[in-house]
Amino acid sequence: MLMWKEEITNLCEKFDGVASAAICGLESGEELIIRPDFVMPSASMIKLPILLCMYDSAAQGILNVSDTVKLTREDLTGGSGILAMLQPGREYTLYEYALLMITLSDNTATNLLIKELGTDAINRYIRSLGLTDTVLARKMMDFDARRRGADNFTSVRDMKKLLEYIYRNEDAMTEVLDILKRQLCNDLIPHLIPEDTVIAHKTGGLPDVMHDAGILYGKEPVLFCVFLKGYQDEAAAKRLHNRIGELIYQEFKARA
């Protein structure tokens, strides 16, 4: 029987596309790293640094997460989420927008938070964390900007660093982790893992991009980032995420 590192490495090498991954035991330091510096379109993974930037702004007194912002017709954005299906004119708190941005990957909520925080402020915050491959260059569903070459990017290296920052500052990240643990998009890494397992994570996807990154709380917490790009078979990409999640769970669930 293959050890978990060997099997994940083999699966990633045989994948019809580019697979980049990091799996790290957060207490033992044991890790598997595959192509960490490969920069990919971030898809909705960019929403994770946006979430942290909002809470950092709150810590600095720039805003309060209970502040309310009215949802206007101009704010409505297509793609994932539910706000675009609701009647504009209602006010929601910044916390509620953030909750929807993460748990349902709501694009309307994301674009509203980008507008409130400011693209420049978000990118400054990203750089302050030492994330060199991550950039917010456009709002969600802005395909005109994407055709002009403006896109959002990140890497496994950066998301690993961001998740380690969250874990090391757990006491200050209570609400961030609570939101991530309430994730409702669970068809990738968590799919074959028992439902009562606590996982704080965020997914991201485009037509040829499929990402999942977060922390699985076994007896030893384990950080995972699995980024896929350039594949032809979407079902095979999902199966790769599912199998990696299953292997992570089996390896780390019983560690002391």
pLDDT in tens, 199-213: 999 999 999 999 999
The pLDDT of 153-167, averaged and rounded, is 98
Same fold flag, 1-36+183-256 and 39-154: yes
Q: Distance between CA 141 and CA 138 in Å, rounded?
A: 8
Asked if 238 and 188 touch (Cβ cutoff 8 Å), the reply is yes
pLDDT for the residue numbered 253:
84
Ranges of beta strands (E only) in the chain are: 18-25, 31-34, 40-41, 68-70, 91-93, 153-154, 198-206, 209-217, 221-229
CATH H-level superfamily of 1-36+183-256: DD-peptidase/beta-lactamase superfamily (3.40.710.10)
Asked if 46 and 136 touch (Cβ cutoff 8 Å), the reply is yes
Range name among 10-24, 54-68, 121-135, 142-156 with the lowest pLDDT average: 142-156
Q: pLDDT tens for residues 99-145?
A: 999 999 999 999 999 999 999 999 999 999 999 999 999 999 898 88
Asked if 100 and 81 touch (Cβ cutoff 8 Å), the reply is yes
The pLDDT of 38-49, averaged and rounded, is 98
pLDDT for the residue numbered 21:
98
Q: Distance between CA 139 and CA 122 in Å, rounded?
A: 12
Which band of pLDDT confidence, cut at 50, 70 and 90, is reported for residue 168?
Answer: very high
pLDDT for the residue numbered 96:
98
Res. 255: pLDDT tops 70: no
pLDDT for the residue numbered 139:
95
Which band of pLDDT confidence, cut at 50, 70 and 90, is reported for residue 60?
Answer: very high
pLDDT for the residue numbered 196:
95
Report which residue type is found at 102: I
Report which residue type is found at 242: N
Range 39-154: architecture per CATH: 3-Layer(aba) Sandwich (3.40)
Contacts of 122 (CB under 8 A, 6+ apart): 49, 50, 53, 114, 136
Query: How far is CA 110 from each of CA 88, 207, 225, 226, rounded to the nearest angstrom?
Result: 16, 19, 21, 22
pLDDT for the residue numbered 72:
96
Residues counted in the chain: 256
Res. 183: pLDDT tops 80: yes
Asked if 89 and 140 touch (Cβ cutoff 8 Å), the reply is no
Q: What percent of the chain has pLDDT over 70?
A: 98
Res. 2: pLDDT tops 90: no
pLDDT for the residue numbered 219:
87
pLDDT for the residue numbered 140:
94
Collapsing DSSP to helix, strand or coil, 195 comes out as: coil
Name the residue ranges covered by the structural domains of the chain.
Answer: 1-36+183-256, 39-154
Question: What is the C-alpha radius of gyration for the chain, rounded to an integer number of angstroms?
Answer: 18
When the pLDDT of each residue in the chain is averaged and rounded to a whole number, the result is: 96
pLDDT for the residue numbered 108:
97
Which band of pLDDT confidence, cut at 50, 70 and 90, is reported for residue 50?
Answer: very high
